Amino acid sequence: MHSLIQAVILGVLTGGVYALMASGQTLIFGIMKVVNLAQGVLVVLGAYLTYTLFTQWGVDPFLSILITTPLLFLVGVGVQWALLRPLHGDDVAQLSLLVTFAIALGVEGLLSFAYGATLTNVQPSYANFSWTILGYQVSLVRFVAFVLSLVVLGLLYLILQRTKFGRSVRATVQNPMSAQLLGVNANRVSALGFGLGAATAAAAGSVFGMLNSFNPGSHYDLISRLLTIVVLGGLGSIGGSVVAALVMGVASSVVSALASPIWSDFTFFVVLLLVLLIRPRGLFGARTRGAL
């Protein structure tokens, strides 16, 4: 029982970070109908930037988020502008899927060129500090990461609900055609949306670098988890992706504690297939719009 509750605590804390990554991905899908296969590599890129800032200049990993987030925001805007916007042809959705995969490969290549393939890790002095509450271990890094994810998700929510840009985004998600007719600049919304998605990846990446050992190839693990999360939550639904991330986090952590860590990733896929069997559009996916 003790190990079960411990696993649930761990799962919720980890799930929070995944929620952050997945919210960016699902936001990109909601706006542009692009399944961003580069989200995982953007997280790894964020982690490596944090690593460099930490080892070269001693910037605290949590503080480095203030630097990496704007940087990756610009990267995201640039990617959308240079590589996704020019796409045309029969099926832009399929093409953009492949383009983002190519971006993932390219960034993986650049990272392994710059850093090599060895596993690294961002280890600030407080990395192994943890509290014991009622007999349960809560690691400082995980807890702060969880809180931070909530803060960033909150910010994202505020941006989407309270700003003019957010209104344009929501209008585009609901109906791109009408949104454009009402004067929403689709290109601008797409570019900023992709930038925001990349920015959440950067924020999550800084934390990811402290919680996990990573190398440039880690993005495959990440993207496979992220994809199951966003499909489970229902593509395009940010709330859905948060719920799905928590479900997946807890499920894999419980399996890891009670069965074996090697099967914890497997949980993701099994849960996904079970959900799709019953409900092909995911937990909170809309019936009409998009790919479903």
Partner 1 sequence: MKFAITRAGLVRAGVFFLVLVLVPIVGGPGWLLNTLTFTIMYAALSSSWNLIGGYAGYPSLGHVAFFGIGAYATAIMFNGSVYGGYAPFLMLPVIGIGVALLSVPIGWVSMRTRADVFAIVTITLLFITQTLAFNLKEITGGAQGKSVAPAPFDVATYDWPFYYAMLIMLATAMAISMYFRRSKIGLSLATVRADEDKAHGVGVRVTAVKLIAFAVSSGLVAMVGGVWAYYVGFIYPQFAVDPLITIGMVLMAFLGGRGTLWGPVLGSFILVPAQEYFAQAFGASQLYLIAYAAVFLVIMLFLPRGILPSIAERLDRRRAGAAGAARDNAAAQVAPMPPSEVKVVR
Which candidate, 185, 148, 182, places its Cα nearest to that of 62? 148
**Near partner 1 by CB under 8 A: residue from 276, 283, 286, 289:** 276
Calpha distance 284→291 (Å, rounded):
14
Q: Per CB under 8 A, does 273 bind partner 1?
A: yes
Which candidate, 101, 142, 120, places its Cα nearest to that of 218? 120
Q: Per CB under 8 A, does 266 bind partner 1?
A: yes
**Near partner 1 by CB under 8 A: residue from 224, 283, 286, 289:** 224
Stretch that binds partner 1, among 12-20, 92-100, 118-126, 245-253 (CB under 8 A): 92-100
The two three-digit tokens of residue 237, written as one number: 């639904």
**Near partner 1 by CB under 8 A: residue from 12, 67, 93, 283:** 93
Q: What angle do CA 140, 45, 291 make, to 5 degrees?
A: 100
Q: Which is nearer to partner 1, 91 or 132 (CB)?
A: 91
63-102: string of b/e by CB count within 10 Å (b at 16+)? Answer: ebbebbbeebbebbbebbeebbbeeeeeeeeeebeebbbe
Q: Which is nearer to partner 1, 39 or 149 (CB)?
A: 39
Is the Cα torsion angle 197, 200, 206, 208 positive or negative in sign? negative
Total residues in contact with partner 1, by rule CB under 8 A: 50
In this structure, the number of other CB atoms found within 10 A of the CB of residue 62 comes to 18
Q: What angle do CA 243, 248, 249 make, to 5 degrees?
A: 95
Binding mask 191-220 for partner 1 (x = CB under 8 A): -----------------------------x
Locus of tokens 């029969």: 90
The two three-digit tokens of residue 48, written as one number: 């490596």
Calpha distance 22→226 (Å, rounded):
6
Q: Which is nearer to partner 1, 93 or 171 (CB)?
A: 93
Shortest Å, Cβ 116 to partner 1: 9
The burial of 262, by beta-carbon neighbours within 10 Å (0-12 exposed, 13-18 middle, 19 or more buried), is given as exposed
Shortest Å, Cβ 36 to partner 1: 11
Query: Rule CB under 8 A: which of 18-57 touch partner 1?
Result: 29, 33, 35
Shortest Å, Cβ 200 to partner 1: 19
Q: Per CB under 8 A, does 228 bind partner 1?
A: yes
Stretch that binds partner 1, among 156-164, 175-183, 189-197, 223-231 (CB under 8 A): 223-231
Enumerate binding residues for partner 1 (CB under 8 A). Answer: 29, 33, 35, 83, 86-91, 93-95, 97-99, 101-103, 105-106, 108-110, 112-113, 117, 220, 223-224, 227-228, 230-231, 235, 262-263, 265-266, 268-269, 272-273, 276-277, 280-281, 290-292
